[in-house]
Amino acid sequence: MSAPDPTPGHQAGSGRYRDRMIGLFLLAAALFNPPLLGLFGVKGTILGVPALYGWVFGIWVAVIALAAIAGRAR
Amino acid sequence: MEAGLDWAAVLIAALLYLSALFAIAHWADRREAAGRSVIASPTVFALSLGVYCTTWTFYGSVGRAATLGIGFLPVYLGPTLLMLLAPLLLRKILRIAKAQRITSIADFLASRYGHSPLLGGLVALTATLGVTPYIALQLKAVAVSFDALTGGGLGTSTGPFLDQGFLIAAVMALFAIVFGARQIDAAEHHPGMVAAIALESLVKLVAFLAVGIFVVWGLHGGLDSLFAAASTRPDLARLMGSEAALGDPASGGGPWGAWVATTILSAAAMLCLPRQFQVMVIESTDERHLDRAIWLFPLYLLLINLFVLPVTLSGLLTFGGGKDPDLFMVALPLNGGAGWLAMLAFLGGLSAAAGMIVVETVALSTMLCNDLVMPILLRTRSRALARSADLAPLLLAVRRIAIVTILLFGYGYFRLAGSAYALVSIGLISFAAVAQFAPALIGGLYWRGATRRGAIGGVAAGALVWAYTLLLPSFARSGWLPSSFITEGPWGIAALRPYALFGLEGWDSLAHSLFWTALANIGAYVGLSLFDRQSAAERVQAAAFVDVFHSAPDGAMPTPAAQSDWRSAASVGDLTRVVARFLGPHRAGRAFNGADPDEPAGPERLRLAERLLAGAIGGASARVALASSVSAGAVEAAELLRMLDETNDVIAHSRELERKTAELERATDALRAANLRLTELDRLKDDFLSTVTHELRTPLTSIRALSEILHDDPELDSEQRQEFLAVIIKESERLTRLINQVLDMAKIEAGALDWRIETIDAGQALTEAVAATEALFRERGIALSVDMPERLPPVRGDVDRVIQVAVNLLSNAAKFTPPGGRTRLTARLEDGVLRVAVIDSGPGVPVKDRDLVFDRFRQSGNTLTGKPAGTGLGLAIAKRIVEHLGGRIGVADAPAGPAAESGTGTSFWFTLPLAVSPSGQGAGEPPVVDRKID
């Protein structure tokens, strides 16, 4: 059944926004966990920061930015 | 070694800070009362979610990083992931909580599963058992950090009830009582508390960042030099790789277990921890605030974790193994000579502890009061309660006693457990405890068939397995149980070893517990639900939760038909009394304003009373209270509850019906429109057929009549005979023409006409048309003139069809122009198309008929009296041909001039596209055979 969503201000593009966030969740869940995460447990540094540390925080920033953009682009 | 600060100064600073929090909370409450809420802001909402970060974050992350490297991070990645699902999950929970006036997570689950007091009590109990030790950990963190800051000035030697832990517990109890348990309606917001929490979140973030910046740039001259220094030490270099966090990939066997399990448990805890549910759901003023929290809260988590690893590495470099890593946050600035920064760090930790303690105790006390104590009191002491006119003081007292009890319990645990493993590891153990609510919570949002017994079974089974695989072993590791409990299993049964249940070995203890609890919990939940039957109350609530976005607003509820059943039940006076008892007479008077106390209450008022009570004492207790309200003898309590369920059921069903009806109506409308269109088409077809047959019959009739005369009367003189034969021939020709046109029309409409569209010379085609009709004009005595340039540009079209159109317009003009009139054919370039017009001096076409003349069988003039001069199809065919060729056709008044001497005159015109369009395309294209129309 497809009754219209009665939330004011949430009708337009709400479904797409929700789907995008679910997609972002799946992407982030894959990136934040092994085995992908383990691939970055290499020696060496990025800009003086250990690779793994830089990777996790870099992905984290990207995920937050995408979430903010998705909310705005709705 | 550092000297430490003066303990009195630290104590005074802490007390001043806490007083400031009181002031902020008081100010926020005042603002709320004045209608200028400070918590109705998405930023404040996102900051208040920061209550997630306790001292376990503030001090404990550094401690965890000292052994796990970045292994402390899943605790924050889990909530980040959960927030990404907010548009799906949290929005629905928020909407339900608002609609049902939910007061806590226990209330939420109890309400979902048919207002089950048993489930509510079970959840309240599990949460209290799982979380109270966590409060103890906060008290310990404050006490220990105080000692670290002052060098142990006050210490624990001043007696068991005068240490910092007790002091902070007492202040927090006061705060929780003042700002968290002042009003009866637990479903309403606590603006003072939320404002203070948001401020505390800000303070702990600023403190952490300040210490981090000081350590990295003040003590080590930048990130790269700190990491470079750390990487020279093999024990520290290990913390920067993946091995410490994820285990050694080479060793195999669940090295990822801890990381993944912590991520899952943290995400579940973000949803199910009583304090998180409190700030995120109960205190939420507007669900649109989620939109900002979705990214702002993860950003908060990121920032507060940014410097954890640098602080850890710096601490280990500075102190070696000589200091507890949990205290680096205070010890490092102190050691670096920045006493004020150490004080700020201490206040940050104090904020983290205070926020957690206050919100957790308020949430737990609401739960304990509404879902454990009140249902028991209402069942066992209903008579005594019924005698009391105002139960609000009792309710508040229960909550306040609960607050004090929880904090005393927490303090006692802190004194008792001290630095035992059971306390140190409690963070993730409590996460695992509250995670047991997640299956019933999330399942209840989407699975309509989930039942009360399933939920109770799931939570109970999960909690038992949790206690066996995490809690009891933590007691054993603290020395309260023999250590053989872990190594050999109880009574030496190896299969029951709590960290290797049924021989599942080699797993991280958390992942091991997560697996078994999830198996037991989800297994019981799904299994029992599948083989269970829902009661009416459960069905109603299941529908209300799962379909929260579909149900109509409360005001638009239909009235159940079974009104007469309620005559004998509760009266308005009964309801007023019971609502007044819990919410005070003022509130009750407002709710049932103006109704006659003796009037039967009716289902709507009963539902209103249920909602009001639910906001104060939870859904499960509200029903029991209502049942006890009815004056003795009027109606059995069980009967009343049955009626309430039935009313709710009826309402749920009628909502469902309403929705279905609306859908049906929409479908019916669409069908009706389609039917109308079909009928119209059918009518048009009938019209067409009858007109065609009529048109065919007219010439046939005259042919037949004349040929009969000729046949029957051989005596007819030859002149007469000749005349009749001429008429017959003419009528036959008309018949042939008509049939040809009908066939043409049918072909065009069926798209079966062969088109041969190519570049043609329009001048030639028009000349041919004029030649074909010249005789007609001459016969009728009409002057035909042609007015076109010597050379017309080539156009795209089908020669035969263009001639057909021109002939049709010309013969029309010949028919309608009175003898002696004039007709003029013009052709000229206009706006990039060729415009051809046939201008006559006939009677003209009335403006109202101009749209109609191109319809089939429409003839201008009086069709009743005058014999139609044509078939009525010519113009319709012309219109279709011209439109297919990409031109337009129309009719207008004849331009004033020599052509319009007699009558008003008419100009029929059509256009044809040029072969060479302005952009140069289409020139010299080969002929195209096109079978399609439109």
pLDDT in tens, B433-442: 999 999 999 9
Stretch among B57-66, B279-288, B536-545 having the lowest mean pLDDT: B536-545
Residue range B574-581: mean pLDDT, rounded = 77
Cis peptide upstream of residue B895 (ω within 30 degrees of 0): no
Give the model confidence (pLDDT) of B494-532 as tens digits. Answer: 788 888 888 777 778 888 899 999 999 999 999 999 988
Stretch among B38-42, B638-642, B789-793, B829-833 having the lowest mean pLDDT: B638-642
HEC profile of B663-717: HHHHHHHHHHHHHHHHHHHHHHHHHHHHHHHHHHHHHHHHHHHHHHHHHHCCCCC
**How high is the pLDDT of residue A60?**
92
Report in angstroms the alpha-carbon separations of B924 from A69, B798, B802, B917.
53, 15, 19, 11
Q: Is B865 helix (H, G, I), strand (E, B) or coil?
A: coil
Asked if residue B493 lies in contact with residue B248, where contact means CB atoms within 8 angstroms, the answer is no
- Which chain B residues touch A40 with a CB distance below 8 Å? 242
Stretch among B289-293, B563-567, B729-733, B916-920 having the lowest mean pLDDT: B563-567
Quickly tell me which residue has 């912590």 as its tokens. Answer: B262
What's the first-to-final CA gap in chain A, in angstroms?
24
Query: In this complex, do A38 and B242 lie within 8 Å of one another by their Cβ atoms?
Result: yes
| % of chain B surpassing 90 pLDDT | 14
CA distance B163 to B157: 8
Give the model confidence (pLDDT) of B358-410 as tens digits. Answer: 889 888 988 888 888 888 887 787 777 767 767 778 888 888 899 899 988 88
Quickly tell me which residue has 């691939």 as its tokens. Answer: A39
**How high is the pLDDT of residue B156?**
44
Asked if residue B247 lies in contact with residue B258, where contact means CB atoms within 8 angstroms, the answer is yes
pLDDT, chain B, mean: 80
Q: What is the CATH number of domain B653-731?
A: 1.10.287.130
* Closest-CA residue to B448 (of B561, B373, B545): B545
Banded pLDDT at B858 (limits 50, 70, 90): low
Residue B871 CA, chain-centre distance (Å), reads: 62
* Closest-CA residue to B125 (of B402, B518, B393): B402
Stretch among B129-138, B288-297, B653-662, B841-850 having the lowest mean pLDDT: B841-850
Residue range B39-53: mean pLDDT, rounded = 89
Banded pLDDT at B920 (limits 50, 70, 90): very low
Cα-Cα-Cα-Cα torsion B622, B625, B626, B632, nearest 10 degrees, comes to 170
Give the strands of the sheet with B783-787, arranged side by side.
B783-787, B822-830, B833-840, B906-913, B889-893
Which pTM value belongs to this model?
0.67
**How high is the pLDDT of residue B221?**
85
Residue A26 has pLDDT above 80, yes or no: yes
**How high is the pLDDT of residue B83?**
92
Give the model confidence (pLDDT) of B881-908 as tens digits. Answer: 888 888 889 888 777 654 444 456 888 8
List, as one string, the DSSP characters of B278-297.
IIIIIS-S-GGGHHHHHHHH
Enumerate the domain spans of chain B: 7-530, 653-731, 753-930
Residue range B218-234: mean pLDDT, rounded = 84
Stretch among B178-192, B638-652, B776-790 having the lowest mean pLDDT: B638-652
**How high is the pLDDT of residue B81?**
93
* Residue B159: burial class (beta carbons within 10 Å; 0-12, 13-18, 19+): exposed
What is the ipTM, given to two decimal places? 0.86
Mutate to test the interface with B, among A19, A24, A37, A40 (most CBs of B within 10 A): A37
B299 touching A, CB under 8 A? yes
Residue B19 has pLDDT above 90, yes or no: no
Q: How far is B233 from chain A (nearest CA, A)?
A: 14
Banded pLDDT at B270 (limits 50, 70, 90): very high
A7 touching B, CB under 8 A? yes
Q: Is B526 helix (H, G, I), strand (E, B) or coil?
A: helix
Mutate to test the interface with B, among A20, A53, A55, A69 (most CBs of B within 10 A): A53
**How high is the pLDDT of residue B198?**
92
Residue B634 has pLDDT above 60, yes or no: no
Banded pLDDT at B268 (limits 50, 70, 90): very high
**How high is the pLDDT of residue B829?**
86
Asked if residue B43 lies in contact with residue B293, where contact means CB atoms within 8 angstroms, the answer is no
- Which chain B residues touch A63 with a CB distance below 8 Å? 80, 84, 298
B240 touching A, CB under 8 A? yes
A34 touching B, CB under 8 A? yes
Banded pLDDT at A5 (limits 50, 70, 90): very low
* Closest-CA residue to B640 (of B595, B605, B665, B678): B605
A35 touching B, CB under 8 A? yes
- Out of A29, A37, A65, name the one closest to residue B81 (CB): A29
Query: In this complex, do A57 and B291 lie within 8 Å of one another by their Cβ atoms?
Result: no
Asked if residue B836 lies in contact with residue B911, where contact means CB atoms within 8 angstroms, the answer is yes
Residue B458 has pLDDT above 90, yes or no: yes
Banded pLDDT at B740 (limits 50, 70, 90): confident
Q: Give the pair of three-digit tokens for residue B291.
A: 């939109």
Asked if residue B104 lies in contact with residue B283, where contact means CB atoms within 8 angstroms, the answer is no
Pairing of strands B822-830, B783-787: parallel
> φ, ψ for residue B322 (rounded to 5)?
-85, 0
Give the model confidence (pLDDT) of B745-798 as tens digits. Answer: 778 777 777 788 888 888 888 888 888 888 888 888 888 888 888 888 888 888
Q: How far is A44 from chain B (nearest CA, A)?
A: 9
Q: How far is B446 from chain A (nearest CA, A)?
A: 14
CA distance B276 to B627: 33
Residue B933 has pLDDT above 70, yes or no: no
Residue A10 has pLDDT above 60, yes or no: no
Tell which B residues from 677 to 696 touch A, by Cβ distance under 8 Å.
none
Nearest C-alpha in A relative to B256: A34
Q: How far is B62 from chain A (nearest CA, A)?
A: 15
Quickly tell me which residue has 């006119």 as its tokens. Answer: B389
Query: In this complex, do B659 and A32 lie within 8 Å of one another by their Cβ atoms?
Result: no
* Residue B294: burial class (beta carbons within 10 Å; 0-12, 13-18, 19+): buried
**How high is the pLDDT of residue B640?**
65
B528 touching A, CB under 8 A? no
**How high is the pLDDT of residue A1?**
38
**CATH fold of B753-930:** Heat Shock Protein 90 (3.30.565)
Asked if residue B805 lies in contact with residue B766, where contact means CB atoms within 8 angstroms, the answer is no
**CATH fold of B7-530:** Sodium/glucose cotransporter (1.20.1730)
Residue range B290-305: mean pLDDT, rounded = 92
Banded pLDDT at B638 (limits 50, 70, 90): low
